[in-house]
Structure 1
């Protein structure tokens, strides 16, 4: 990589290489997106929703998602090309990434996403990290994922007051490809090359689920923990429970019932949190719940990305995005309807967990 001049403050997100006359330019680089808008706190909430969606619906490791606070109105995010299978690059890579973002995060998921940044030519330019902005006096700084998911916007903004060094992500060589995002990339390349219209993916579980609370309680150790320790449950664990149980067919009443033992229980505050969970976030994932300190999950997990996945009745032929039982065990299919199996678990192991 060529050395940047000392005074440089911006760099193109994608590498851009003009070709011979009559030949398309070459683009390589990560999937990128940024948030912008008058409400910076809302942009932060949209970012969290996108991260949770990538993890819960596509199986993308949060370690593969790199985030910076821009020092102004919104975060900058990249996912390295090795994760999505885009190492070879493409002459229409900005358009491909634009279409991928439209499919992954339609406005109903992330209204503050800036969808105008996927221009051709030399492409989008981003401020380099740890450079002082002349407009705000702040710095673009890297953020750890635990900060993105758990700190308030005010705390994140405070980190931009000075340069921030010593925060490292795994190198690209240490990252594993994400099969679901690789498939989405291949499909989007084909659509863009054909000139076809790209439609957003329908994220069904973000609207609601017809799961059964009793089934969820019988199958999920975390939800049982939330019921048994309701009087002393931490707020992050309680909201993780709310974000999953509320998506069951009988979930709203169940959330209130599970919350009443808490000394500070308020029906009005619980209703407000329910509305936030259903409208503004997805179901908290098993990985996030474990990161918050819960240690009661079975070794290797339950074969689902979030507890809500255990709330569906097991049938021989499940609906799209549901769970399918076969003679060789339990297959969990993702909600995008692409037929990908996230994990196959032996039936004997499943019986042991739920016994």
Structure 2
């Protein structure tokens, strides 16, 4: 039983170290693509069309993109913001309509799109967005003076509800949270797709064959013991939450070097070496590796931790059973056999 656990521990250790590389690569790709910001752009555009179905998709996307490129919202130069609160969204829409925005934002929005936004606000009961915003700020200030114990977002929300009471705020409040939830679901799905693609790239690049690895762990005691020892060290090093694995992903160079030395991870020196090595690699094993790596580093962290606990429990049981067997064997021996092995006869026997 312990051998099977050790095989799983060795596999988990390799998958944990490799999935860290997959995580770093997936985060890099997601960041380059600005995936979270683009999904937020799409979701906010759909929300604007829900508020006013007459707003065309192109205009809705331009309005949403302008908001997400606002200096207070964007994630650096040229990158859409990845987070926005309901009150911020409502205020920025009225800021854009009133023209109370920086020059670069006004140029991005365009006069035609601003007119479309203004018409949409008027249709939903906001005829003077600039005055509404001024009233909302004054009401928020009064609430801060009268009720300082309230959180800032609650004060802002109460002020907007009072100053812009009407269909515009009602529609945003009715649909914003649901829209953000769906945006999160779409972003999670796209991240899973990116993770699977990165797993495929890593598995093919290092030609990690899981079936071949399991076979090696089954017959190579030294390899298995080495990986189990590394698994124990990793379990002691990561004691808090799976998120700390991302901090360790750049600190596991020695562990990767050991995998290289053991021949588990193959980094070819040239394209010809990489291509010729496919003869000894099973496509099914690579596909299995991709599936396992796509589970993510947190999954393998938890698997490693649980297997270590199970191994410790089984090892304790084996030790207890071994001691019990030795005790039973000792008591079953005759006095002559006990004397032969240096043990005294039983208490009831006497020397003649």
**TM-score, with structure 1 as normaliser:** 0.18
Structure with the greater alpha carbon radius of gyration: 2
Query: Higher strand fraction: Structure 1 or Structure 2?
Result: 1
Query: Higher helix fraction: Structure 1 or Structure 2?
Result: 2
